[in-house]
């Protein structure tokens, strides 16, 4: 479409008064657009970026002493129930319980500290081995060889009176 020659949104050669009015209107329009746009942007960003709720920890039963053997790591699957937004997740994770045969138990996470694969216990040479990149840990979780940067994670664990529980992040 064509516009008349004298038609332009640029400053027109009108009086000083008209130019002042124009400037006021432009300021008003820009303010309202900024107000509504800014408000919506702030609200929608806050909605989208919703910071993660800080995770807590919880004691979860991991079995009874009848399931354990003294001084041998026994894998136990613990189920942790937590809300993931609107979804109730029942996350299952494996921990190795090492019981001293009395009132003390240690819990090692089965997650390799290298890249997160699940390690397995090999009773033959009393080692944890990671199937992914050959990480090897001793029975106490310390790195024996391979790429893992640190020992297997320890979880808080307790026996009360015959139930073994571990403290897991939820």
Partner 1 sequence: MIAVLDWLDARTGYRGARRVMLDEPLPPGTGWLFTLGSLLLALILIQLLTGAFLTLYYAPTPDHAYDSVRYITSLGTGRLVRGLHHYGASFLIVAMALHMLRVIAFGSYKAPREITWLSGLALLGLVLAFSLTGYLLPWDQRAYWATVVTINISKLAPLGGELVAGVLRGGPTIGALTLVRWYSAHVIFLPAALVLLVAGHLVLMRRNGISGPVRRREGETTPFYPGQASRDVTVVLLVVAALASVAWYGVPALEAPADPADATFIPRPEWYFLGLFQLLKYFPGEWEVVGAIVVPTVAAVFLALLPWIDRGPERDPRRRKLVMALVMMGVAGVIALTTLGWRDRPLSAAAGWTMREIGGRAFVASAQCARCHVDGGMSDPLDGLLLTRGAEWIAGHIVDPDMIGPGLRDAPTIVHEREVAAMAAYVRRLSRQPYPGFAPPVETAAAVFARHCVGCHKIEGDGGTDGPDLTHAGSKHDQATLRRWIIDPEGVDPKAEMPSFGSRLTGVQLDAISQYLSSRK
φ and ψ at 20, to 5 degrees?
-65, -40
> Two tokens at 117?
């694969």
Interface positions, 69-98, toward partner 1 (CB under 8 A): 79, 81, 85-88, 90
- Closer CB to partner 1, 79 or 103, in the complex: 79
* Minimum CB–partner distance for residue 75 and partner 1 (Å): 15
Closest CA to 144 of 113, 118, 116: 113
Rounded to 10 degrees, the C-alpha dihedral 31/37/41/44 comes to 130
Q: How many chain residues touch partner 1 (CB under 8 A)?
A: 31
- Which H or E element spans position 33? helix 16-49
Report the side by side order of strands in the sheet with 157-159.
Answer: 57-64, 163-169, 157-159
Stretch in the footprint of partner 1 (CB under 8 A) among 47-55, 107-115, 132-140, 152-160: 47-55
* Minimum CB–partner distance for residue 22 and partner 1 (Å): 6
| Interaction between residue 16 and partner 1 (CB under 8 A) | no
* Minimum CB–partner distance for residue 166 and partner 1 (Å): 14
CB 148, CB 114: distance < 8 Å: yes
Answer for which of 19, 20, 25, 70 binds partner 1 (CB under 8 A) is: 25
- Helices and strands (H and E) in the chain: how many: 1, 11
- Closer CB to partner 1, 85 or 116, in the complex: 85
Q: Which residues bind partner 1 (CB under 8 A)?
A: 1, 3-4, 7-9, 22, 25-26, 28-29, 32-33, 35-36, 39-40, 43-44, 46-48, 50, 58, 79, 81, 85-88, 90
């Amino acid at each position: 479409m064509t516009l008349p020659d004298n038609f332009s949104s640029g400053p027109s050669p009108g009086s000083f008064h008209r130019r002042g009015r124009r400037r006021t209107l432009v300021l008003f329009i820009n303010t309202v657009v900024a107000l509504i746009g800014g408000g919506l942007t702030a609200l929608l960003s806050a909605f989208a970026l919703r910071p993660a709720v800080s995770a807590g920890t919880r004691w979860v039963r991991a079995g009874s002493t009848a399931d354990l053997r003294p001084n041998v790591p026994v894998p136990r699957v613990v189920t942790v129930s937590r809300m993931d937004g609107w979804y109730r997740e029942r996350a299952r994770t494996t921990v190795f319980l090492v019981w001293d045969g009395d009132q003390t138990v240690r819990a090692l996470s089965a997650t390799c500290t290298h890249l997160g694969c699940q390690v397995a216990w090999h009773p033959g040479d009393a080692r944890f081995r990671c199937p992914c990149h050959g990480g090897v840990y001793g029975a106490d979780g310390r790195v024996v060889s391979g790429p893992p940067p640190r020992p297997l994670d320890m979880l808080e664990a307790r026996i009360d009176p015959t139930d073994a529980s571990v403290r897991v992040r939820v």
